[in-house]
A and B are shown apart, each in its own frame.
Chain A
Amino acid sequence: MLEKIQLLSSALPIVFFVIFCKRKAPKELWVIFIYFITSLGFDLFLAISAWASDHRFLVWNMYGILENILLSYFFYLIINQRLIRALILLFSLLYLFFILPYLKTGTDQFNSTMSAVGSVIILVLSICYFLNYLKPTSEAVSIFTPQFLIVIALLLNVSCTLFLDLITNRLTINELAKYWSINSYANILMNLIISSAFILFYNQHKPKPTESNFVDFTSPNDR
């Protein structure tokens, strides 16, 4: 039941993006949209394909790589500091360098360490993004932007699943089934927050009704 709700909730941001943001969305929102398409694609692949359900962990590992690359690119787009952008590129390359050889072996075992490393990278990038807000600026900028909400969603998701990722390797199939609900709840929460971020984007970019500058100079008697 929970799995189905999670699957449905992961379709929610896609639907909301198409309805509310498609036309004016900046690059970073498109990246999140692609991330959700990928996520839903993998979920459906796991649900439909017999090979995928046999090699579940291998598929998860592959999804983990794509997830981290897309989210790193999202942070690359929303963080303006050059140093952090360079570090994002560097860490992404290092991440790929270490995880790709592991994938080549075709081992059908969940790679807890690399998944946890990916989570920590997202955690650190989220904190970097928040630190940007703590800097004194000359302009009063509202904190509640769609990007900010997306980062909150990602941070909450990573916080909820970090320890689960760390110990997944040690769990038996029964234990995994028991604790996997944490992941499902975290995903549902993230999907809901990101959906609301898309609504927020729509509200912030809604065309405002233009004030009429027309002044009728004719006499009331002539109208």
Chain B
Amino acid sequence: MVLLQVSTSDNYISTVLFFGTIGMLALTIGLIVFISFHQRKVIRYQQQLQRMEQDQQKTLLNASIRLQEEERQRIAADLHDDAGPLLATARLYLNENFVNLDKQTQLQSIYNAKQIIDDTIQLIRNISHSLMPPTLKNFGLESAVNDLFQKISGSGSMNASSRFHDYRERLKAENELIIFRIIQELINNILKHSNASFIHLTQNTSGQRFFIRMHHDGRGLTQTDFEKLGKSNVGLGLKNIQSWLKVLQGKIYFEKDMSQTYYKVTIEMNREDDLKQVNESN
């Protein structure tokens, strides 16, 4: 108002025009600078996230390669340490002098060699079964898991039981194998580290979602522990679980139950994709 009273009309217009235009320009430039900086910040943050994701994938890939190597070494050791000596012994029974031996000794040697070859066949069958359980292939996840739990229970080290509530339609064979491997890995961890006296597995579905839940009364993991171990260099088995779940596009939750007595592990996957793939293959 003071400005209006003291200035002439021309000055007034000049002042309004000058300050108005400068003010608008300053606001506009400020806005553009702010958006540019903000966007740059967002891009930097997203790049950092991408880097972290790549690192995580690298860790998972390394874990999976290490697992494969360990598996190969185990098979190599089984073949070399067990099957190799057995076959070598069988060969000793059937050596060059075999034809020079008397009939009685020959029969004894053949019998011994046959025994050893039978043992070797059994050994190779065991190795093959550990790679792909025949029950899983022929009768599905439910039978394979029940079989596994019966074996654990039969060993007397732990009370193990399993119950499948809704498994009328089998999952795709590859997915069944992955879930079975995850269950095996989890049970392996429970047996090794938890000191549990019982373990119980239940299967359920809710809509298109498929759930496997395991309870045990030993020392267990929480989700934070699982995530921490997944990022660290230790915990190869857990990293494998993570990479298997990635293939399944599933999730896993580690938690303590309401009573704080038992630990729960829940595996969740969407059946929709699985059924779609099964239908397509049919």
Contacts and interface: CB of A to CB of B under 8 A. Distances in A.
Q: Is the interface of B mostly helix, strand, loop or mixed?
A: helix
A133 interface: yes
A46 interface: no
B24 A127 contact: no
Interface stretch (B38-46, B60-68, B207-215): B38-46
A175 B13 CA distance: 9
Contacts of A142: 43
B27 A171 contact: no
Interface in A153-190: 155-156, 159-160, 162-164, 166-167, 170-171, 175, 179, 182
Contacts of A143: 35-36, 39-40
Interface stretch (B14-22, B88-96, B263-271): B14-22
A130 B34 CA distance: 10
B204 interface: no
B4 interface: no
Contact of B25 (A127, A159, A164, A179): A159
Interface of B: 10, 13, 16-17, 20-21, 24-25, 27-29, 31-32, 35-36, 38-40, 42-43, 46-47, 50
A140 B25 contact: no
B21 A136 contact: no
Contacts of A134: 35, 38
A195 B27 CA distance: 24
Contacts of B35: 130, 133-134, 143
Given A162-B20, A163-B20, A167-B16, 19 more contacts: A130-B31, A130-B32, A130-B35, A133-B35, A139-B46, A140-B43, A141-B43, A143-B40, A152-B32, A155-B32, A156-B29, A159-B24, A159-B25, A160-B25, A162-B21, A167-B13, A167-B17, A170-B13, A175-B10
Contacts of B38: 133-134
Given A127-B31, A134-B38, A140-B42, A159 B17 contact: no
A139 B40 CA distance: 13
Contacts of B27: 159
A130 to B, nearest CB: 5
A139 B35 CA distance: 16
Contact of A140 (B17, B24, B31, B46): B46
A160 B27 CA distance: 11
B13 A162 contact: no
Contacts of B28: 155-156, 159
Contacts of A139: 46
Nearest to B38: A134
A155 B35 CA distance: 14
Given A140-B43, A140-B47, A163 B25 contact: no
Contacts of A171: 13
Given A140-B42, A140-B46, A163 B32 contact: no
B39 A163 contact: no
A189 to B, nearest CB: 10
A51 to B, nearest CB: 30
A127 to B, nearest CB: 7
B46 A179 contact: no
Contacts of B24: 159-160, 162-163
Contacts of B36: 143
A136 B40 CA distance: 12
A175 B8 CA distance: 14
Nearest to A179: B17
A155 B43 CA distance: 24
B140 to A, nearest CB: 38
The CB with the most chain B CB atoms within 10 A, among A127, A140, A179, is that of: A140
Contacts of A127: 31
